Structure 1
Amino acid sequence: MRGRPGVAMSESVSVRCPACRREHVYEAPAYPCACGAPVSMPLDPDGIASAVTRRAWDDEWISVRCTACGRDGEWPRPELGCSCGTVLLVPVARTAADDAPRRKEPAARRAFQPVTIRTARDAVTAAAVYLRWLGYRDIRRADQRPPTGIGIAAHGLLAQVDPTVSPASLRDVECLWLTAMTESATCVYFSLAGYAPDARTRADALGVPLFVLDLTGTPQPVNSLADELDATGAR
């Protein structure tokens, strides 16, 4: 099926590896919008796959509009691993977010739909999905790279995602807080392995919400600040 802007694309496309010429069939994953509806990548059946030669944050995310509620969300750009070892960027069509008019977003939050964590990239996606569910917008890569993990930002917020197997340290929490202070932003920390006891104590003193990401992709509040953020959302 030939696609064109503003028209829903087929759910799967044929992808040829430019290195070994093997053909693959790629099916777009569906991601959970904050409203609860699934959002799929608009694949381009006429596009040509390219090999990933370097990583850049801006190249790894694509804006897609939910057809159910009209929200614009940032989701991972589709990739496919070929058996020859090449990682392919799956061609994506121009998205509905480029053409459709914006709709007013409903005030109430729906049930959170987590993203299963299998890789470090999944951990970042899970944190971004959660922040978007809380009501933060314009989620992007942070301007400054943290000493540990990956930094993401939204309007007025700086978040750090630590996908390592070591608990976040007191220094990790303090560095996040100091960076947020210089940017006049609030901050929040997500960790897969939890936090050292002194890191939790320091976070309470500095006002930093702490979350642990379980493998289902659901952030679990660690301190009362995180409980409050989970309950009230972005303000």
Structure 2
Amino acid sequence: MGELVPVHCPSCGRRHAFTASAYPCACGAPVAPPLVTGAAVKPITHRTWAEEWVPVRCGACGREDHWPQPELGCPCGSVLRIPVRPSRAGAAPPLVPGAAAPDSAGRPPQEPPERPPFSPLTIRTAHDAVTAAALYLRWLGFTSVVQAEEPSPSGIDLRGPDLVAQVDPTTSATSPRSVECLWLNGLTASATSVFFSLAGYTDDALARADDVGLPLFTLDLTGTPQPVNGPAEELVASGAGR
């Protein structure tokens, strides 16, 4: 893990102690983004792909890669971007997964860049579960997804221009009715529907989701989603360009 820094939420005044997650470099050494201690943070209100990643240099081998921008989900609903010390001036942002960009000679690359590792959020409350799902969907490429400010009668917890998602934080397996309702909401909005559940799904819910092609994920308390059906595995493989 990286260094511990104090973070003050400007929306509600809460104070947090934040530590950036460390990821293994290609050389095997753990690397965590170097945080700026005492810097003011701002709630994220608009996302761009370039702001989702930061260049970080490995202290062991000197290799520089792009890593997920550290973020903190406050219980008040704000998602805070934690400032990182720059690795070098003028570092170019990474490409969107699956997007091709020409090289200096105008030739397209042979392969798209790989998606960096996902940085999970530990789940302690139902709100944490929704935040963890939002972070995962943004990691998949749904960069404009936002959390509902208030509980929706339809059960939709997360929305984007081309996405609706629901998070079931209860201790009971998700029912086929919940799956069908989310699927219908997705049809109405002409959007991709994605379901997350802490307790998993009934057999009937799994069968219904497979019938309609709705991706299902489970969430563990570390905040790491796992695909549990074929549509979810396809979504993980292709990202938002599906």
Query: Whose RCO is larger (CA < 8 A, sep 6+)?
Result: 1
**For 1:28-74, what per-residue CA distance to the aligned partner results, in whole angstroms no more than 9, with x for missing partners?**
343689x98648698667x9xxxxxxxxxxx9766684442497787
Q: SS where residue 194 of structure 1 aligns? A: coil
Mapped to 1, the partners of 2:7 and 2:148 lie a distance apart of 33
Superposition pairs of residues 113-132 of structure 1, within 5 angstroms = 113-132=119-138
Are 2:152 and 1:145 equivalent residues in the alignment?
A: yes
Which residue of structure 2 aligns with residue 84 of structure 1? Answer: none
Q: Which amino acid aligns with 1:133?
A: W
AA aligned to 1:187 is S
**Matching residue's letter, 2:157:** G
The alignment's TM-score, normalised by the length of structure 2, stands at 0.61
Q: 1:181 aligns with which of 165, 176, 187?
A: 187
CA contact (8 A) 1:60 1:76 kept: no
Return 5+ residue gaps in structure 2 as ranges: 26-30, 56-65, 85-89, 98-113
TM-score by length of 1: 0.63
Conservation of the 8 A alpha-carbon contact between 1:118 and 1:215? yes
What is residue 54 of structure 1 aligned with on the other side? none
* Counterpart check, 1:105 vs 2:95: yes
Amino acid corresponding to residue 172 of structure 1 in structure 2: S
Q: CA deviation at 1:209?
A: 0.7
Counterpart residue number, 2:58: none
Identical counterparts, % of pairs: 43
Q: How does 1:36-115 map to 2 (within 5 A)?
A: 38=33, 65=51, 66-68=53-55, 69=66, 75-77=72-74, 103-105=93-95, 107=97, 108-115=114-121
Aligned-residue RMSD, C-alpha: 4.2
- Distance in 2 (alpha carbons) for counterparts of 1:200 and 1:39: 42
Q: How far 1:11 sits from its partner (Å)? A: 3.0
User: Which residue of structure 2 aligns with residue 27 of structure 1?
Assistant: 17
1:11 alignment partner, SS class: strand
Question: In 2, distance between residues paired with 1:192 and 1:140?
Answer: 20
| Aligned-partner Cα distance in 1 for 2:36–2:168 | 27
Residue equivalent to 1:159? 165
SS for the counterpart of 2:179 is: helix
Corresponding residue for 2:217? 211
Q: Give SS of 1:131's match.
A: helix
**1:51-102 deviations in Å (ceiling 9; x for gaps):** xxxxxxxx9766684442497787524x6xxxxxxx9x9xx89979xxx999
- The 1:25–1:198 alpha-carbon spacing in structure 2 relative to 1, beyond 3 Å, is closer
2:140 equivalent among 134, 139, 162: 134
Instruction: Indicate if the aligned counterparts of 2:216 and 2:228 stay in contact, CA closer than 8 A.
Output: yes
One-letter identity of the residue aligned with 1:129: L
SS of the residue aligned with 2:166?
strand
Provide the rounded CA distance (Å) in 1 between the counterparts of 2:45 and 2:193. Answer: 24
